[in-house]
A and B are shown apart, each in its own frame.
Chain A
Amino acid sequence: MTSGICGRPPEAGRWEAGIERGGRFRIRCRPLYIGTVCALALAAIAVPALAQTIAITGGKVYPVSGPAIENGTVLVRDGKIVAVGASVAVPGDATRIDATGKWVTPGLVNALTGLGVSEIGQVQQTVDRGARGDNAIAAAFPVWEGINPASTMFAPARNEGITSVVVVPTGGLVAGQAALIDLVPGTVSDMIDKAPVAMVAQFGDARAGGTNARGEQYARLRELLDDARVYARRRGDYERGQTRPFAARRADLEALVPVVEGRLPLLVNADQASDIDAVLRLARETNVKVVIAGGAESWMMGERLAAANVPVIVGSMNNIPTSFSALGSRQEAAALLQRAGAKVVLIANGSGGEEVFNVRNLKYDAGVAVAYGLTWDAALRAITLTPAEVFGVADRIGTLQPGRDANIVVWSGDPFEFTTRAEHVFIRGREVVQPSRQDELMDRYKQAPPAYRKP
């Protein structure tokens, strides 16, 4: 990542409200914006690390970065992992967690969700996931600014081992910018790990994309990216009114600059094989890094995706030709992509408005992917390290390695099985399990009639 540079000369100035945890935020701004942007960035690093040493001992440790370690120890200090192995010395002051007979993995990453920006799907005032945009373009939309850390949906997710998610905007041709957040209690600033992590677009369903035909979608995306490139070179001329009209508003063009400069991936929702082919062509022509999401027919394009080094975000429970763009949906998609050498990220199968309620089910999608041919190790990687790589945070999360954030789950058994529970969940070294609203309801009603109805 580029380090922050506030106060570059105006002609080279950028206004990117990029936030990255740990002080490595990249801020380039016009002098005018220094105050605002730097204040925002500072807020993002104001999370105090917990000065504590924790030793998780005796478990079967799956670091993901290497082979499983029987009877391993994971040592955590001040929110970071400091040692992982079979013969790690445990300091006397460490809080010990006995994980004998347990499985220890990195915290899971749900890489595509509306968690935090959608509370009750059908109550509009609780949904902040889709921007109105301008002519179906909402590139400047920072979805994370609408995250509500008080959402009751966070606890069920983190209690079941989800430690990070990618919050992804929806709607239009260009939906906006996604953010990767850790599910720590606190403010949005506390939660953000990196934002933006991707620019989100659609290709395929032309009407949903605010156009009337696939070719028109292609032409609009192409024009938009070309304009962003010209805009990036000629900001001064733009401010003086000396450029031709562009296809989008200034803020949207500005947001697209890191995309055309290859620093921010363009995450494209595309299902049909021919649509994926078109996105690969667009990526080649515009020299943009792309990620495919949805990918119902991506398994037909495995070798091409692998050759182009384009990752695919895909589910494991989809086998219904739900639309004419998804006729080839099949549950073996992840396994076939893996076999073809493509990079696979698995996501949960929220088929509707209940998605945010079931971010926690990611581990079952991994299990089903295994039932449909993905290897177990690859399935774990597809919900930990691979999403971290795709979204540029693999230096912080996704594995159990010294120096990484202590996002760790201690499971009672195989994390993909229904009988298994997350016994300890650490995010940045802090235990985060706390009763969810659902837990409180179950506690109240677990005996019928409930206590308050008894005489």
Chain B
Amino acid sequence: MRIRLVAAAALVAACAPAQPTPSPQPRPGPATPARADSTRPGPGGVSAPNANPFPSTYKAPPTRTTLIRNVTILTAAGPTIRNGTVLLRDGKIAAVGTTVSAPVDAEVVDGRDKYVTPGIIDDHSHLGVYAAPGADALSDGNEATNPVTANVWAEHSVWPQDPQFPRALASGVTTVQILPGSANLIGGRSVVLKMVPSATVQGMKFPGAKYGLKMACGENPKRVYAQRGPSTRMGNVAGYRAAWIQAEAYRRKWDKWNADHQGDPPQRDLGLETLAEVLRGNILVHNHCYRADEMAQMIDIAKEFGYKIRSFHHGVEAYKVADLLAKEGISASLWSDWGGFKMEAMDGVRANLAMVSAAGARAIVHSDDPSGMQRLNQDAAKAMAAGERIGIHTTEDEAIKWLTINPAWALGLDDRIGSIEVGKNADVVLWSGNPFSVYSRVDRVWIDGAPAYDRANPASWWRTDFELGNVPLAGESR
């Protein structure tokens, strides 16, 4: 919505799942044949698919086997399990069901009247790139100097001491896609982070997550570039197409060189390298797009150049083309009830998520907002209720997917996170009650099986460096 919004994060794709790529440097293509040419490119000199120059250094903390029992489990993978038990061992979900017994070494958490869900995933956030407190010095989300900045990477703007991170965690959010803003037609790469404290952004990066690419439709780019252009929606479309034409030429040139290593390697271009990775299917496109008509046009552009759109973000009019989204296999990342703040947001309706979901498309609750991010479950509840009022019934088993497995899919991580299933990463939230109730709070959060948040133990809470001395501890008076 706001200009700081949206943008698909380009994830560094394609490392071995769950393993940070050990090599910090891109390598020349496939097993390098002996070459007559003695001028070998140095590290970084070659445009290599799936290069990972800023690898994750995240290491899951030591865990203790944990058994959460007597809970209602919304699994996002099947029907609700009443009086269920979840076993977390070695960072993974080791067992789930009604007849799981406690290993002798397990810490047992009794959750009578409580609920367990997968960790919440927000696929649209600007934490760290628009950190709190709001100040020009911390405004790093839009490289609004050129309408196409595919060359920038959101992770290079993320401030790990943003006090918004621990607040997201305390509301059950365990994985977040950080996107560049929406000032530009093509805003740059996104990054997927775990909500864990770290002095470096590399320490927060989700190992093996793909990058995303942020694109933006409509009002924001044409407003920001009104003087130099694009100043119209048709100018926007010409801008996307021009970029993809360049990207396709670049991809061919490099794919050829990577295959045959004939002659000097072409010169790298960071922006085109990112776009070429989209064309190769290694980076996922996250497209800020409010209006139904523009979504349809972006789908045609994607077909023209042979890439896929993974998710339309802020699609306040997604309900108007829900059948098209379902047919094309494109998810819709939505708010329940933001609307009206600008012309292209006028037609926002609260049942949007329910309508998109009912049409068979993947509906996702996203935030684009550090406050809304803390209540994504409530946004889902509002959309469920609004759907109910127009005759669209959404079960809790479906709605939990809007918050977990569907955004996991949008990030290409649905094989690792987003549901309570054996083998998945043990990213788990214990709620004081039904997460779709206004009165429920997050009691505990585990990430990779390790305790990440415990409401009852304020001394254990993650406080960023910024907060020391600046932000009073809860309950503490200055």
Contacts and interface: CB of A to CB of B under 8 A. Distances in A.
Contact of B339 (A319, A354, A445): A354
Interface in A424-443: 438, 441-443
B474 A445 contact: no
B471 A327 contact: yes
A349 B371 contact: yes
A319 B381 contact: no
A449 B359 CA distance: 9
Contact of B478 (A123, A328, A354, A421): A328
Contacts of A349: 371
B471 A418 contact: no
B343 interface: yes
Given A320-B371, A367-B438, A119 B478 contact: no
Contact of A119 (B1, B340, B375): B340
A318 B471 contact: no
B133 A324 contact: yes
A448 B355 contact: yes
A357 B385 contact: no
Contacts of A450: 320
B141 to A, nearest CB: 15
Contacts of A328: 471-472, 478
B461 interface: no
A36 interface: no
Contact of B132 (A321, A418, A441): A321
A450 B347 CA distance: 15
Contacts of B323: 448-449
A65 interface: no
A62 B382 CA distance: 24
Contact of A418 (B164, B355, B382): B382
Nearest to B340: A357
Interface in B329-382: 337-343, 345-351, 355, 358-359, 369-372, 374-375, 378, 381-382
Interface residues of B, number: 63
A419 B436 CA distance: 9
A40 B467 CA distance: 53
B80 interface: no
A322 B346 CA distance: 27
A354 B371 CA distance: 13
B221 to A, nearest CB: 14
Contacts of B385: 418-419, 421
B390 interface: yes
- SS of A interface (majority): loop
Contact of B349 (A123, A322, A442): A442
B37 to A, nearest CB: 55
Nearest to B344: A122
B134 interface: yes
Contact of B338 (A324, A327, A354): A354
A370 B351 CA distance: 26
B319 A416 contact: no
Contacts of B351: 442, 446
B163 A416 contact: no
B313 to A, nearest CB: 16
B173 interface: no
B133 A321 contact: yes
B411 to A, nearest CB: 24
Nearest to A123: B343
A418 B382 CA distance: 6
A206 interface: no
A120 B277 CA distance: 38
A368 interface: yes
Contacts of A448: 319, 321-323, 326, 355, 358-359
Given A370-B439, A416-B438, 18 more contacts: A119-B340, A120-B343, A320-B132, A320-B370, A321-B467, A321-B471, A327-B472, A351-B372, A354-B337, A354-B338, A367-B439, A371-B440, A418-B382, A419-B436, A438-B339, A442-B319, A443-B390, A448-B322
Interface of A: 119-123, 153, 273, 300, 317-324, 326-328, 330, 332, 349, 351-354, 356-358, 361, 364, 367-368, 370-371, 416-419, 421, 438, 441-443, 445-446, 448-450
11 contacts: A122-B341, A320-B164, A321-B133, A322-B133, A323-B135, A353-B340, A354-B345, A357-B339, A419-B388, A419-B436, A442-B386
